[in-house]
Structure 1
Amino acid sequence: MKVAIYGREFHPSVIPYVQHLFDSLVAKDTELWIYEDFHQFLEQQVECPQKLNTYSIHHQLPDDIGFMLSLGGDGTMLAAVAIVGDSGIPVAGINFGRLGFLASINKDEIETSIDAILHGEYNIQKRTLLAVQSDQTALFDGNHFALNDITLFKYDSSAMITVKAYLDGESLNAYWADGIIAATPTGSTAYSLSCGGPIIMPGSGNFVITPISPHNLNVRPVVISDDMELDLEIESRSGKFLLSCDSKTAAISTDVRLKITRAHFQVNLIRLKNYSYFSNLRNKLLWGLDARNY
């Protein structure tokens, strides 16, 4: 089977796990395709297989690639999803980071997890993405999709910004705040959650608009249908604001009006048979961690 691997620079403590992964994949006679920048880093860290291929965009991968492995934390997983784009390549994440909401495979379970994936013993979980666009300028070189969230934030540390939000052309609110977050169900457990947003089940057909430090304390997150179009106008004393699309960030002029919609494609996440969304929530958010439960 042909396997794509994506990763970024990692801490030296991870080296034994990465070496074990490569040894396991080579022993299983897989054909490896490694992200070019990551390969240059790996050559100085581990003993790479002699026969491997490199890629920099998913169009360079063969049509019959089996799946992509993301090596790192959730941030690396988001970057891997950006590389995969609308290709439909399934993505599995081995967690070398801290939280591991998206990268759900434990680094101590590499051998059994790889065996299971190679034998097709997994489920595909389809996750919705958001797209941000503007009629006035191209954003992020066309890679304007987010699995977690699209966030607007004030450009500097001074005054708040005003974000005028419209849903399907109708005025929703003028947010006086440090910014706002438009989060998918996947991203509802990320930045949006830390700003007081609700947890939304994947596949529920919604996304959430969450203000960041709003000036009016009665302004609260709102959950809306992902069929709706969110248009945003921004006012700022600096004349700029920061726009982030998962791990990508750019400074944008306030003359630019934004449109946020559901992306035209979904991403395929590999989940092993023993994976449970609710169990993952309990473990990562420490739900039920009370002496009375033990």
Structure 2
Amino acid sequence: MKIAIYGREFQDSVLPYVQQLIDMMAKHHIEIWIYADFYAFLLDKINFPDDIQSFNDITSLPKVSFLLSLGGDGTMLSAVSVIGNRGIPVTGINLGRLGFLASINKEGIEHAFQELLIGNYAVEKRVLLAAGIESVQGEPPKIFHALNDMTILKKDISAMITLHVHINGELLNSYWSDGLIIATPTGSTAYSLSCGGPIVVPGSGNFIITPISPHNLTVRPIVVNDESKIRIVIESRSDSILFTADSQTASISTEETVTIQKADYHVNLIRLKQESFFKTLRKKLLWGLDTRNY
């Protein structure tokens, strides 16, 4: 069996958990492929087997059973961007804080690893966003993908920006705000939630449009069908604004137009059989932890 590992730099306090994982994989004679930058970070901190191999990008990674992301949700999103459209199942061991995506707790690595080895898990297909940023100069559009969300944000602390949002060619609203979030159901528990957006169950076939600090208090988040094509025209006193797609960030001109729709591929997210979206909500958001319930 071949298993890939992806990660980024983290605090030394979680190194014993990483060592535990590597030791278990070596014990079961797993062929380990580790992301090159992560391997360089761990080289003098972890005892690796002699036959470990590294990869720089998805083109240098052979066919693997699945990919393990070591870190928090941000690391998981970065791992998804590395996988791209290869369809490799991915799961995360949470070495960070909240961990909606990286749902395997670091204290439960041994049990989770055994479940993964015997295939006692489900694979959920998660929708991604695809954005094309079109230049007025007629250059080819810049393409971005995101599992959680995409945002358009003002860069400075001066004036708000105005975002004219069209759904399938019809004007939805002109948002006077600090920015706008377009989120998938997977990303509904991330930035969108902190800005007042709803929690949407993965697989429900929707996107969420959530304004960031809108000037009009009657402007609320809205849920639209994920077959919608969302076109955003920008007005700002600044020459450029900030665009993000999960872990990617770009500066775009106010003369450029952003079109967002469902990507033509999905992410295969591994969920252990004892885990579920609702269980994760209860655990991570502390639902039900009230003395009146006991």
TM-score by length of 1: 0.97
Contact 2:167 2:230 in 1 (8 A): yes
SS at match of 1:158: coil
Residues 135-176 of structure 1, C-alpha deviations (whole Å, 9 max, x = no match) = 325677x5x110000000001111110000001111111000
Matched, 1:131 2:130: yes
Stretches of structure 1 lacking an aligned partner (at least 5 in a row): none
SS at match of 2:84: helix
Q: Which residue of 2 aligns with 1:20?
A: 20
Identity value in percent:
56
| Equivalent residues, number | 291
Matched, 1:183 2:183: yes
**Partner Cα separation in structure 2 for residue 280 and residue 138 of structure 1:** 41
SS at match of 2:75: helix
Q: Which residue of 2 aligns with 1:115?
A: 114
Q: Which residue of 2 aligns with 1:51?
A: 51
Deviation at 1:44, TM superposition (A): 2.2
Deviation at 1:93, TM superposition (A): 0.3
Q: Which residue of 1 aligns with 2:173?
A: 173
Stretches of structure 2 lacking an aligned partner (at least 5 in a row): none
**Partner Cα separation in structure 2 for residue 44 and residue 175 of structure 1:** 51
**Partner Cα separation in structure 1 for residue 65 and residue 243 of structure 2:** 34
Contact 1:42 1:48 in 2 (8 A): no
Deviation at 1:134, TM superposition (A): 2.2
Instruction: Return structure 1 stretches of 4+ with deviation > 3 angstroms.
Output: 137-140
Q: Which residue of 1 aligns with 2:262?
A: 262
Deviation at 1:48, TM superposition (A): 1.8
**Partner Cα separation in structure 2 for residue 276 and residue 230 of structure 1:** 30
Q: Which amino acid aligns with 1:274?
A: Q
Q: Which amino acid aligns with 1:119?
A: I
**Partner Cα separation in structure 2 for residue 121 and residue 290 of structure 1:** 33
**Partner Cα separation in structure 2 for residue 135 and residue 209 of structure 1:** 20
**Partner Cα separation in structure 1 for residue 253 and residue 262 of structure 2:** 23
**Partner Cα separation in structure 2 for residue 20 and residue 123 of structure 1:** 24
SS at match of 1:234: strand
TM-score by length of 2: 0.97
Matched, 1:40 2:40: yes
Note the aligned Cα RMSD (angstroms): 1.1
Deviation at 1:241, TM superposition (A): 0.7
